[in-house]
Amino acid sequence: MLWLTLGYFTGRLDRGALKGAVLHLLFGGFSRERLAERASRHAQWVLARGMHTDGLRAWRAHQAAGDELILLSASPDLYVPLIGSLLGAAHTYCTPVKWNGDRLDGRLAGPNHRGEVKTRVLEGLRVRRPGIAVIAYGNSVSDLDHMLRCDEAVYVNGDRALQEAHTQPFLRWVRWR
């Protein structure tokens, strides 16, 4: 694991390669059945205890308003689609991982869904649904790239310096518990 960390910090591995290598080392060779059981438990735990109460409340308010909800995450597709399904998301986009038949390889099967990849997903959505109003929620500096292209954006638990650097009127800053 140390060589992976060194590879990342020296620039030899990007975040996606690091993510895939760690998944490969920790879970490579696990069966789909074994991982499906764990993923199901994890997704249920996330909804029960792993989400900000305010975030879940905002999600439910959008649902009640009839908004089309899309979950866009850099986390792997081992469990994110399950979370999306439990939340009632219309679509889920996340980082795909490789399988060797019924066994997890763990390395990435496509791009790491963060930064510019999320922006491409957003741009694709706008092409498929011209005129749709897009509201994004994010909590990472890498989320700003796509959030700054939305009609409304909500940045969750950002630090003061980042907030002072981005004062666009459509970008709201919130603190969630």
pLDDT value at residue 14: 87
Q: What is the C-alpha to C-alpha distance for residues 94 and 89, in angstroms, rounded to an integer?
A: 13
Which helix (H) or strand (E) segment holds residue 163: the answer is: helix 160-165
The pLDDT score that the predictor gives to residue 130 is: 92
Distance CA 105, CA 83 (A): 22
Give the residue ranges of the chain where pLDDT is below 50: none
Q: Which two tokens stand for residue 96?
A: 């795909």
Structure tokens at 64: 């009640």
- pLDDT (0 to 100) of residue 77: 97
Residue 32, pLDDT score? 96
**CA–CA gap between residue 138 and residue 130 (Å, rounded):** 23
CA 48, 99, 93: angle at the middle one, nearest 5? 50
Neighbours of 72 (CB within 10 A): 23
Q: 96 CB contacts (<8 Å, ≥6 apart)? A: 76, 77, 108, 109, 110
Rounded to whole angstroms, the Cα distance separating 64 from 30 reads: 39
d(CA 71, CA 149): 17
Strands (E), 7-79: 70-76
